[in-house]
Structure 1
Amino acid sequence: MIIFRLGRIRAPQGPGIVLLLPFIDHWQRVDLRTRAFNVPPCKLTSKDGAVISMGADVQFRVWDPVLSVMMVKDLIATTRMTAQNAMTKTLLKKSLREIQTEKLRIGEQLLLEINDMTKSWGLEVDRVELTMEAVLQPPQESLMGPLPPVPGLEGLDSTIQQLAAHLFSNTLALTADSVETVNETEPPAAAIATGSARGKPSADELLSAVELFLSEPLVGQVGASYQVNITLPSGARSTYFIDLSSGSGRAGRGLPEGSPDVVLEMSEKDLQDLFLGELRPLSAYMSGRLQVKGDLHVALKLEELLKAMKQRR
């Protein structure tokens, strides 16, 4: 209980019996337990033009009852408005895919932003959980339009063609000074074309292509090592690694150096769908197609690698 005596605030009283002077003391009760409120769903436009209806559930507690009474008149209403503004500002910079797959990370980011505002009010937010009501409009098509077809890969999926085109262009750039070297060395695009006779590249071809997209900024974002156990259609199992814990990162066949942070298990088909953008890590995990041994949050950081591959295609 916060008591004002002749306009002067006194030290917090209670819990228990508190003596008040009639006509002199004015008081206000403050609940120190963890409470919650919801941010009503509002329409937002994401970075890629999608229109969504997004709300949030917020848990908070008062840690300084004096500040909570002196600084704001309606604590919940003010905090709700602060949370809504922070949510709107953050989601406008995200694509629909990022919002759907990184809700936990976005919630943690919002938690820090809201607490920066509310700490001077004697209030601390413990949790922010985003809730997507509906996707009112899908993302807009890229204004650049589709890439032209790659010679020799007509009829294949456009995503495979784009990946092959990127690999082929990188190979040409590295060997522009020696035509003989290009003729003697089979470019990755040709390897993908060979592996795509079945419709999609094999696990070996995909993991070889992944190395082209590794970089120090990506390692800084992920900072983890992954062991990937693949079940082939024949029933055999192959082991690969994606090390994004140091340097510019490494990927290849076999076990990673040291103990991996996360072990992933999936079929070759699911690996193909994952790296070609037809399957999302979170959807694969929720449907049981992706088995995770280790921290799920660290496992979902592989989304950063998939985004890097998509951007550079």
Structure 2
Amino acid sequence: VPDAPQSWPSYLCHGLISFLGFLLLLITFPISGWFALKIVPTYERMIVFRLGRIRTPQGPGMVLLLPFIDSFQRVDLRTRAFNVPPCKLASKDGAVLSVGADVQFRIWDPVLSVMTVKDLNMATRMTAQNAMTKALLKRPLREIQMEKLKISDQLLLEINDVTRAWGLEVDRVELAVEAVLQPPQDSPAGPSLDSTLQQLALHFLGGGLSSVAGGASPPGPDTLEMVSEVEQPVPHVGAGLSPKQPVAEGLLNALQPSLSEALVSQVGACYQFNVILPSGTQSIYFLDLTTGHGRVGHGVPDGTPDVVVEMAEADLRALLCRELRPLGAYMSGRLKVKGDLAVAMKLEAVLRALK
């Protein structure tokens, strides 16, 4: 933002005062040198205002400031990052979710960053939050969960359209869906993460492990089961569990016969299940569907898992007895899913293989 041209009286006064400043600097040298000489590192630029008028950016290296008539502001050119705190947003299909974002940016024009915006960090944060809100209001929950990278790229372009005029460029935006606080009013086509988790618990833990649950068989595919939304569901008769029964081991036994190369090519992901025992220790299991026919076993997988599912053994038993709803466990944090939500929803293919 260039300054307006000076009139000749103003220009004359400006030159005279600058000359007196230089003269004072010479008279009091070298004492004044400790205050007038500033060192600017390579990753910074110094914006100097002489008698209120901006000069060209100074640095890197040593910069001379005239006493009493020069003021300055340092501008850091390194990449910085901030996070947009999770906030409640409503999607197009009526779902309420908690969404945040991580943003990385850098200053490419020090003069614009100082002259156009007073609080650059706050202005960029508000711009990112507004762009995120507008983008998510136009999309259903399933699209938000499945296309986070695409939405992040769109947010990057929209934010840069605003911030380039401030001398700032956003390098990266990463959308983070913290939790789904309320499911969509109109169920979208295809499985969502919540429905996948619900089927996972009812099929893996209710149907595939009927022997573990005391021999209780799950409802057939054509059976309609009515559940009260007010009263807690009553456990099925015969679904009592002995505290010493190896619940997670039964999960492994149910998964083993379903592994195949076709399932590996369809899913292509690695899952880790952390079961927290009453003693406080963790019993870890894995389902590796990345190579061969797939593997399932006890312990940590060889590589980094794409999704980690974690819950307490008591909650696992409650799911088997139908005393705890899978969706309620996920929403309350008793069933935790860490990793890519799109990969987590690929568990639907494992469910179909068990049918």
TM range, normalised to the smaller chain?
0.3 to 0.5
TM normalised by structure 1 equals 0.46
Higher helix share: 1
TM normalised by structure 2 equals 0.42
Q: Flag the structure with larger Rg.
A: 2
